[in-house]
Amino acid sequence: MLIKKPSDIKSSEITPESVYKNRRQFLSDSGKLLLGAAAIGATPAIVNAQNGAGLKARAPASMRRVGVEPWWADKFANIKPAPDAEPYYTGEAMAPYDDVTKYNNFYEFGMDKSDPSSNSGKFKADPWSIEIAGEVAKPGTYHLEDILKPHSLEERVYRLRCVEAWSMVIPWIGFPLADLIKQFEPTSKAKFVEFETLVDPDSMPGVRSRFAIVRWPYREGLRIDEAMNPLTFMAVGLYGDVLPSQNGAPIRLVVPWKYGFKSIKSIVKINFRETMPNTTWNDLQAQEYGFYANVNPGVHHPRWRQDTERRLPQTLFSRTRIGTRLFNGYADQVASMYQGMDLARYF
């Protein structure tokens, strides 16, 4: 087993007290800012932060995490805010924090949308290691802290489009995948990047379910030019806070011009390959889920149309259906990578 098994000892019990209290003070101060905004009528989940970080949105104070490792405190105290223009900021209304964290596909925790938030209480994202393998100059198994150390965190507000024809706008925190790739120096043979999700039956009830339809581990992949595109993002947080377990803690992929199943969660292995990797949904139903999975309103899923989408959140009195755009609205940044390709064949 390449992944280190987490200890039962809480971070607060092994962290120097002074560092731990500083993290708690940081979170407390953030919460006070949110409460102040709420007092003048703002919605906490989408309020514009008026603090030094300048983030587009912060998690509600009641849901912010405390007692995490001290190196996270340093990272999350210096997040570069998203700009005020495309492609790293949409200008659209962001989904409330509650929807982003309670409406998820993460089959390792169950098949219903509410299962990940309900069933991930035993999941531990610290300590965490990632295996770097294949066609790279620096293969090995690295602690997450060592992987993240060279990278500054930034905020990006992206559209997320699910192949099930629903969508959200989410403020992610992370860094470009291209920066991580350069860190490990892929060779000229690296034409594809393959990713794997953690498999842990003890903390992931969906893995041990006899009704599971996925052959674990969950696997995804990108062409190397897709992985190096400036939009492709390694997320370690959302709404200014660390990733919740149900959203792919501690580190996940975000590829905003592709359907959501490409944005693999809780990554434990990154493998650089010369040949195209097998991917989970393409293996299960190749006629429904292509390797590329680019958002395309002109290519419909066999069981539902893809030219419109339900923009979440929705209520009984407010149901928003909008038109889907090619490459999820990011065509200016990514269309050149597929020039000359038949997008109906390579879907």
Q: Distance between CA atoms of 248 and 237, rounded to whole angstroms?
A: 9
Under the banding of pLDDT at 50, 70 and 90, the label for residue 44 is very low
The predicted model scores a pTM of 0.84
Asked whether the predicted pLDDT for residue 54 surpasses 70, the reply is: yes
Does an H or E element contain 13, and which? helix 11-14
Q: Distance between CA atoms of 56 and 94, rounded to whole angstroms?
A: 9
Domains of the chain: 81-338 (3.90.420.10)
State the chain's mean pLDDT as an integer: 85
Q: Which residue has the tokens 């879907």?
A: 347
At 134-172, the pLDDT tens digits run: 999 999 999 999 999 999 999 999 999 999 999 999 999
Known binding-site residue numbers: 104, 107-108, 162, 197, 247, 252, 263-265
Q: What pLDDT sits at residue 319?
A: 81
Q: What are the b/e assignments for 301-323, b being 16+ CB within 10 Å?
A: beeeebeebbbbbeeeeeeeeee
Q: Are strands 129-134 and 267-273 parallel, antiparallel or unpaired?
A: parallel
Contact indicator for 132, 184 with CB cutoff of 8 Å: yes
At 199-251, the pLDDT tens digits run: 999 999 999 998 888 999 999 999 999 999 999 999 999 999 999 999 999 99
The pLDDT of 336-347, averaged and rounded, is 96
Contact indicator for 253, 234 with CB cutoff of 8 Å: yes
Known binding-site residue numbers for Mo-molybdopterin: 104, 107-108, 162, 197, 247, 252, 263-265
Q: What pLDDT sits at residue 61?
A: 82
Measured between its terminal Cα atoms, the distance across the chain in Å is 35
The Cβ-side half-sphere exposure at 226, using a 13 Å CA radius, reads: 26
Q: What are the b/e assignments for 209-238, b being 16+ CB within 10 Å?
A: beeeebebbbbbbbbbebbbbebbbbbbbb
Torsion sign across C-alpha atoms 304, 298, 325, 266: positive
Q: Distance between CA atoms of 171 and 158, rounded to whole angstroms?
A: 7
Q: What pLDDT sits at residue 330?
A: 98
